[in-house]
Amino acid sequence: MNFMSKKSFRYINSSAPKIDALAKARGNAKYTDDLEFDRMLYGKLLRSTLAHGRIKKIDVSKARALRGVRAILTGTDLPIRYGILPVSQDELALALGKVRYIGEPVAAVAATSEETAFEALKLIRVEYEPIDPVLSIKDALKSVQSVHDEGNLHKAVSLEFGQTQSTGADYSREDLFYYEGNTHLALEEHSAVALWQKGRLTLHSSSQTPFLLRKILAKALEIPETSVRVKVAAVGGGFGGKLDPFAHEICAAKIAMITGRPVKFTLTREEVFYCHRGRHPAVMWIKTDWKKDGRLLDMHFKAALDGGAYGSFGVVCVYYQGALQPVTYKIPHYRFESARYFTNKPPCGPKRGHGTPQPRFALEVHLDKVAEELGQDPVALRLKNLMTPDSVTVNQLKVTSCGLNACIEKVAEVSGFRRKHGRLPPGKGVGFALGSYLCGAAVPIYWNDEPHTTVRITAGRKSGLTVYCGATDIGQGCDMVVASVVAEILGISIHRLRLVMADTDTTPPDLGSYSSRVTLMAGNAAKDAAEKFKSQVLAIAGKKETSFERTLQSALRKKNRIESSGSYKPPAKLGRFKGSGVGPSPAYSFSACVAEVTCDVETGEVGVSKITFAHDIGRAINRLAVEGQIEGGIAMALGEAFFEEQVYDERGLHRKPSILDYKIPTMEDMPELEIFLVETGDPAGPFGAKEVGQGPLLPVIPAIANAIYDAVGVRIDETPFTPEKILLALERKAMARAPRVGPDKFPDIVFPEPFAVRPVSAVQASC
Amino acid sequence: MPRLQYYRAKSLQEAARMLADGGCQAAILGGGTDLVPRMKRRQENFKALIDVGAIRQLSQIRRAKNKLYLGAGLKLSFLAQSSELSQFAAFKQAAGLVATPAIRNQATLGGNLCIPTRCVYFDRSDQWRESLGFCLRHKGLACRAAPGSAVCLAPMSSDLAPVLVALGAQVQLVSRDGERAARLEEFYKNDGKDHLQKSAGEILAWVAVESGVFTDSVYLKLSRRHSFEFPSLGVAVALSRRKGTIDAAKIVLGSIAPYPVVARESQDILIGGKLSDELIAKAAGAAARQATPVANADLSPSYRRKMIGVLLKKALHEIRQAGS
Ligand SMILES: Cc1cc2nc3c(=O)[nH]c(=O)nc-3n(C[C@H](O)[C@H](O)[C@H](O)COP(=O)(O)OP(=O)(O)OC[C@H]3O[C@@H](n4cnc5c(N)ncnc54)[C@H](O)[C@@H]3O)c2cc1C
């Protein structure tokens, strides 16, 4: 298939500015907190000040008596458990019986002003009976206390793939790594406004998943799904932090139902840290076996995740710890074990890269160490074991296009990696790493046979041309993707289109903005809808005029309403084993990164001077937006590499729930970036497009760790790479001890017997 | 934000009168970059703010004899770029390192010198501090960072204070009942809860610095990133060198104690000597003994302490390099 045909496009592959860019730059875009309604009430949540305890008594009488207070809810008002995954229905909007982390909502107040709601919170008295908190995996394994009645182990998996265990290895190596937990830090704090009108609920929310939220609201509020409408206004970033349903959304809805008045909850920054659902802290162990010449024979990977107090997406995260290592490298035999534990801390969940940045960090640093010991160049070692297009991985994922080779050659050449590695002056170094990510999960969260997304296009004589799509633009640019695809196919100006997005009443369903699925899936649905629309218009008009615009006008003279609908459903997964639902995707993106750093051996400070990055995007629907996503991914990776720590004290109290103290890089901390797009044209993607929302974060963190080693000869095997850790490692080096900072033991976890997955038959595997 | 009254004073005298009338319920509003967030967090609950931004006198630079008088209302972005201040290199540097460009456009000199001390255990919401147990500074009995301490040890976190102390600055304080001058070095005291030697009714009107006293000055700021950061440590150095020999030296450490700490031992080591590697190493070595940071800021106390010597060494090397 030739996706890079000579045919020139107007929008596809252009650098046209996003359609919402101007409004956002000018401050005209309306976010959820900007919405105002007559007689609106302001809601606030009272949150637990104890990490683990039984609620003995909640006295709301004083708060209720305060002038201006209109409603107060406690756990008994919302007793139905829910959760984002069907297998983890363990959450309540307001704690009932027990609190499980500091910051867990215990009561909700709505009042006629925000000030009054604050005052009312102070008047609520909660009596707790403290229970010893479970604050680490170690605690979870040995404590007599259980976060949940079922015990502290949430999920453990053990899978084995490929030919029987290798023999004849010349060399093997094992390593331990730790990845610190961190959170999304989207600039917009979560906000929701609920309205109850004529027996129907409308919830405006800064959510990444309006259709899933509708389902969960209906469940928690015990009303039919048809009585719920969820609409999403402009969203100031999500990164996975706005995927789960949240207490403030359910409480806003409930209070609107009780009072009949509009209710707004906007969280403070501190509350967003308690909502969390961010990156799991992970201890990881990896062992690989090799031939002397650098051929990989065997990989064994273990991960232990500190999950926080509730399930969230945790089960999926457990599988993602092992799912994507085989997508970049050919591994003949692969074993992976992973477990998640409950602890008395805010729940972890999905953050950009969902469960794969931790293992990617471990794997790519491990490979750097292996390369050194085998006396090979780190690039060459990877090339020897590299994934190739049209392959099936050892864990039964179907890889279609794969531009890894081109990505590697590009960054290696431009950065001068081969020339510089091991040869720069002391204090300076270069590091290399790869990554890969899926372009949409092939399996929906709630199993069903429906399309994953549908796009509708309508035109009427007086109503213009409208595109309806349920996908949610959280800043990643999917409005622009959908509009570009439709405008391109129809051959009209993008400004002719009216977009109606992310509204469960008016737009056809879309699963949501997660798993990097939207460009591929909504893009394909938009393409399908536009192509159908175009042929209908031609058929009705009878003949082609000088432009599509004219053809459309002529068709509309014959028929006053023209409508089409297109949809997308991913191909079936190959694997048939338990857990095979995590990992399959219609296509995979690939990236390669070279980081160049300077270390100050006196302060331990590391400065990244340059990142050279290549990303196999399949095809850029919009180059400017793709580059923007890559820059953003790199910025977030720098934050995780150097600063970010979602950490708690011995009570389970978040140490720094403030945007000033929880640090992410600023513009001044950004290095020089050189970014290349590799366009492989994937058969599964619209115009060949793949994802870019999550993948680019992955290789940056290990590339930096490897560059630090190249610069000063110390291994920082845990994130973040703080100046203190670097000084500590340098001290160890000076004392001829292992020049390393990182974990020295994997938790004592007894994993289940591995489930051996039989290789897929040749028939199934042929693509 | 709680409700409050806002006044815009037309003269220093009017502001001083309003402040006296307001008692402890009123506060001076400079740029508001520190005060307003604190009020939003409900760490302060002033009922009235007196904006001094319209007082012309406070936003001027006056030169008289060998002294420069800087109005307390001058904005940091202006100070960072002012050509009149070129002989006070460290001061300009420090002003340019505060917070972010947007904050510097709004923040004032007076506000910067008067910002309350900061602490990771105090600059938090009520609910957070309740979860932890309140501290010495508010409702509680013990310091959370240093449980044995009888006083609050929250560090003075202004970037400009250590530099201006090093440059020997004086401040002019105006109240309803009169005015007085004070050495900036004596304007701070060792109590994080109340670290200014100033009564509630006093307004900082201007800062005076003498020119020609020092030949070199440098300010180095320790922080995790390059913008949007309070200092975790600030090292200000001012030297006077004649033919390479140091005849006056002032070394001041910021963000390590409730007041700017003068590193006397290091100063004494430098005076009379030349900036040789050995002398620099000796002065740097002595500096770390001058302060014992506690765990109340970003970065660990032992790291911050170790960095005192490292930054001082870097600062002195910088001076030597610039001068050669
Ligand atoms: C994100 C962020 C980062 C920051 N980073 C830094 C930093 O890196 N370095 C740094 O030094 N500061 C920093 N700050 C603190 C602050 O912005 C600056 O110190 C600023 O210079 C304060 O000046 P202002 O005019 O805004 O003070 P205001 O907020 O108006 O006032 C601060 C205090 O001083 C009092 N005050 C103001 N003017 C006078 C006067 N003339 N006389 C008597 N009292 C007065 C006020 O009553 C108040 O108590 C930061 C603040 C924020 C929000």
Residue numbers in B near A270 (CB within 8 A): 124-125, 127-128
Dihedral, CA of residue A716, residue A717, residue A718 and residue A720, to nearest 10: 30
Residue numbers in B near A653 (CB within 8 A): 128, 131-132
Nearest to B127 among A49, A643, A665 (CB): A49
If you measure from the C-alpha of residue B50 to the centroid of ligand 1, how many angstroms do you get, rounded to a whole number? 15
B237 vs B219: CA distance, rounded Å: 6
- How do residues B74-132 score in pLDDT, each as one tens digit? 999 999 999 999 999 999 999 999 999 999 999 999 999 999 999 999 999 988 999 99
Residue numbers in B near A660 (CB within 8 A): 228, 230
- With a CB cutoff of 8 Å and minimum separation 6, the contacts of A553 are A545
- Bigger pLDDT: B2 vs B136: B136
Ligand 1 binding site (Cβ under 6 Å of any ligand atom): A 660; B 27-35, 37, 52, 72, 76, 98-99, 103, 107-108, 110-112, 114-115, 158-159, 203-204, 228-231
Name the minimum distance, in Å, from the CA of A255 to any CA of chain B: 23
Cα dist. A247→A225, A244, A461, B248 in Å?
A: 18, 10, 44, 63
A273 vs A267: CA distance, rounded Å: 10
**Residue A166: is its pLDDT beyond 80?**
no
- Picking from A111, A141, A142, A1, the residue whose alpha carbon sits closest to that of residue A46 is A111
Mutate to test the pocket of ligand 1, among B6, B14, B34 (most ligand atoms within 8 A of CB): B34
- How do residues A724-745 score in pLDDT, each as one tens digit? 999 999 999 999 999 999 999 9
Asked whether residue B105 is assigned to any structural domain, the reply reads no
User: Mean pLDDT for chain A?
Assistant: 96
Nearest to A115 among B2, B131, B224 (CB): B2
- How do residues A212-271 score in pLDDT, each as one tens digit? 999 999 999 999 999 999 999 999 999 999 999 999 999 999 999 999 999 999 999 999
- Cβ separation of A669 and B227 shorter than 8 Å? yes
Cα dist. A685→A452, A518, A523, A680, A682 in Å?
A: 14, 11, 8, 11, 5
Asked whether residue B271 is assigned to any structural domain, the reply reads yes
Nearest to A653 among B126, B131, B314 (CB): B131
Residue numbers in A near B310 (CB within 8 A): 602-603
Enter the tokens of residue B304.
């911050």
- Cβ separation of B3 and A115 shorter than 8 Å? yes
The DSSP result for A585-621, as a single string, is: -S-EEEEEEEEEEEE-TTT--EEEEEEEEEEE-SS-S
**Residue A380: is its pLDDT beyond 80?**
yes
A332 contacts A296 by C-beta, under 8 angstroms: yes
Q: Residue B324's pLDDT band (boundaries 50, 70, 90)?
A: low
If you measure from the C-alpha of residue B112 to the centroid of ligand 1, how many angstroms do you get, rounded to a whole number? 4
CB atoms within 10 A of CB A244: 28
Asked whether residue B209 is assigned to any structural domain, the reply reads no
Pairing of strands B48-51, B5-8: parallel
Residue numbers in A near B131 (CB within 8 A): 49-50, 102, 651, 653
- Cβ separation of B120 and A47 shorter than 8 Å? no
Asked whether residue B256 is assigned to any structural domain, the reply reads yes
- How do residues B283-316 score in pLDDT, each as one tens digit? 999 998 888 899 999 999 999 999 999 999 999 9
Asked whether residue B183 is assigned to any structural domain, the reply reads no
- Tell me which H or E stretch contains B277: helix B277-287
Candidates B4, B131, B318: best to mutate against A (most CBs of A within 10 A) is B131
**Residue B140 has what pLDDT?**
85
**Residue A447 has what pLDDT?**
87
If you measure from the C-alpha of residue B230 to the centroid of ligand 1, how many angstroms do you get, rounded to a whole number? 11
- Tell me which H or E stretch contains A72: strand A69-74
B6 vs A177: CA distance, rounded Å: 55
A620 vs A451: CA distance, rounded Å: 24
Question: What 3-state DSSP class applies to B130?
Answer: helix
If you measure from the C-alpha of residue B228 to the centroid of ligand 1, how many angstroms do you get, rounded to a whole number? 13
Q: Residue A2's pLDDT band (boundaries 50, 70, 90)?
A: very low
Ligand 1: nearest atom to the Cα of B158? 11
Domains, chain A, with CATH or none: 6-29+451-568 (3.30.365.10), 32-131+189-235+242-274 (3.90.1170.50), 282-442+576-741 (3.30.365.10)
Mutate to test the pocket of ligand 1, among B49, B98, B203 (most ligand atoms within 8 A of CB): B98
A397 touches chain B (CB under 8 A): no
**Residue B48: is its pLDDT beyond 70?**
yes
**Residue A761 has what pLDDT?**
59
- Cβ separation of A658 and B124 shorter than 8 Å? yes
Cα dist. A764→A181, A328, A396 in Å?
A: 39, 21, 10
Enter the tokens of residue A38.
């007559």
Asked whether residue B5 is assigned to any structural domain, the reply reads no
Residue numbers in B near A661 (CB within 8 A): 120, 298
- Picking from A572, A582, A587, A752, the residue whose alpha carbon sits closest to that of residue A160 is A752
Give residue for tokens 């953050």: A351
Range of the domain at B251: 216-323
- Cβ separation of A102 and B130 shorter than 8 Å? no
B304 contacts B310 by C-beta, under 8 angstroms: no
- Tell me which H or E stretch contains A192: strand A191-197
A381 vs A191: CA distance, rounded Å: 48
Asked whether residue B222 is assigned to any structural domain, the reply reads yes
**Residue A617: is its pLDDT beyond 90?**
yes
Question: What 3-state DSSP class applies to A443?
Answer: coil
> Which domain CATH number covers B278?
3.30.390.50
Range 704-723 of A in CB contact (< 8 A) with B: 723
Mutate to test the pocket of ligand 1, among B112, B175, B187 (most ligand atoms within 8 A of CB): B112
State the average pLDDT over residues B174-185.
97
- How do residues A464-517 score in pLDDT, each as one tens digit? 999 999 999 999 999 999 999 999 999 999 999 999 999 999 999 999 999 999
- Cβ separation of B224 and A115 shorter than 8 Å? no
Look at the pTM and tell me if it is higher than 0.90.
Answer: yes
Enter the tokens of residue A143.
């404590």
Where helices occur in A73-209 by DSSP H, the ranges are 114-123, 137-142
Residue numbers in B near A267 (CB within 8 A): none
Domain count, chain B: 1
Long-range pairs of A545-553 with CB within 8 A, sequence gap ≥ 24: A547/A491, A547/A492, A548/A490, A548/A491, A548/A492, A549/A492, A549/A496, A552/A459, A552/A465
Mutate to test the pocket of ligand 1, among B33, B39, B108, B222 (most ligand atoms within 8 A of CB): B33
A387 contacts A329 by C-beta, under 8 angstroms: yes
Name the minimum distance, in Å, from the CA of B99 to any CA of chain A: 10
**Residue B139 has what pLDDT?**
85
**Residue A195 has what pLDDT?**
98
- How do residues A174-215 score in pLDDT, each as one tens digit? 999 999 999 999 999 999 999 999 999 999 999 999 999 999
Name the minimum distance, in Å, from the CA of A660 to any CA of chain B: 7
Asked whether residue B194 is assigned to any structural domain, the reply reads no
A333 contacts A162 by C-beta, under 8 angstroms: yes
